[in-house]
Amino acid sequence: MNKPVFKTTSRKPAQPSFAVEFEAGETIFGEGELGTEMYIIQDGRVEIVKQIVGEARQLAVLEKGDFFGEMAILEDKPRTAAARALTPIKLLMINGSTFDQMLRSNPEIAVRMMRKLSRRLRETDGMLRESLGRPAPEPVVEIPAPEEAKAAAGSLERLVESRSGMEFFLAQGAETLIGRRDPVTGINPDVDLTPVDTQRSISRRHAKIHRRGGKFFLAEEIGTMNGTFVNGVRLETGVPSEIRVGDEIRCGLVPLFFRAE
């Protein structure tokens, strides 16, 4: 059976949201169904499945903190894919009457939603170009200065988590994205701090380290919730701050040190 187990004592229309539970294997909603709610995963894992040429294909696996079904709120259209519980799950179901309030109180969800829609637009544009026989635009490639190229070739720059000693090496390029893997948007950060972020305090796209010659700059990404700090000073979103070897960096509740030796 695919009926959710409601965990509230009231289901009045004014109630902003309520929790629902599904057992492993249960369908949350089917492809083609009409819907008026979106969901945020509180516990467990959910798979998004779509029928392609008569075969059910898994598009994504979502976990705690991820959201899905938002298109039902943004536009009055049938669901474009199905959602199914991979494990026993707890979901927070959000209806349209509280959607605006949620975005105001949690800007990270709004930013991730925009990134998800932006990715869909790029993919659609690529498919249209392919169907019309037009080549995709050439990506803009930043050519590093000789000093940058030399540094990247033998880079030892890394972030060291101060409690466990776990090391996270910077990307071999001009930018290093710090955060957690995001199956909603398909973004995989260069430095994935999931193993040391036990309290999930780090945003999916939390911050970037920019390599400029022999210098490094840290900038917090838009939508970051729990702050980014350098030697105890909180960074202003989007404003790069120079970091040096030995500096203490804190992303959310995760303390790190910048090393290069």
Q: What is the pLDDT of residues 156-199, one digit of tens each?
A: 899 999 999 999 999 988 999 999 987 777 778 999 999 999 98
Q: Angle at which helices 107-131 and 96-105 pack, to 10 degrees?
A: 110
- Read off the pLDDT band of 36 (50, 70, 90): confident
Better-predicted residue by pLDDT, 139 or 184 = 184
State the pLDDT confidence band at 120, using cuts at 50, 70 and 90.
low
How much is the pLDDT for 55? 86
Q: Give me the pLDDT at residue 243, please.
A: 97
Q: Which of 21, 63, 25, 60 is nearest to 44 (CA)?
A: 63
Q: Is 114 helix (H, G, I), strand (E, B) or coil?
A: helix
Q: What span, in angstroms and rounded, lies between the C-alpha atoms of 80 and 96?
A: 18
How is the chain split among helix, strand and coil, in percent rounded to 5?
20, 35, 45
In one-letter notation, the amino acid at residue 54 is G
- Distance CA(233)–CA(128), nearest Å, equals 47
87's CB contacts (< 8 A; 6+ apart) are 24, 44, 45
Residue type, 3: K
Pairwise CA distance, residues 135 & 158, whole Å: 38
Under CATH, to which class is 5-105 assigned?
A: mainly beta
- Domain extents for the chain? 5-105, 146-259
Please tell me whether residue 210 adopts helix, strand or coil conformation.
strand
Calculate the CA 243 to chain-centre distance.
25
Q: Which helix (H) or strand (E) holds 10?
A: none
Query: Measuring CA to CA, which residue among 197, 194, 183, 241 is closest to residue 216?
Result: 241
- Cα–Cα distance for residue pair 4/20, rounded to 1 Å: 6
Q: What's the number of CA atoms in the CB half-sphere (13 Å) around residue 151?
A: 21
The DSSP code sequence of 66-108 is: -EE-THHHHSS---SSEEEESS-EEEEEEEHHHHHHHHHH-HH
pLDDT tens-digit series, residues 62-88: 888 888 888 877 776 788 889 999 999
pLDDT at 234 over 90: yes
CATH for 146-259, among 3.40.630.30, 2.40.30.70, 2.60.200.20, 2.60.40.10? 2.60.200.20
Mean pLDDT of the chain: 80
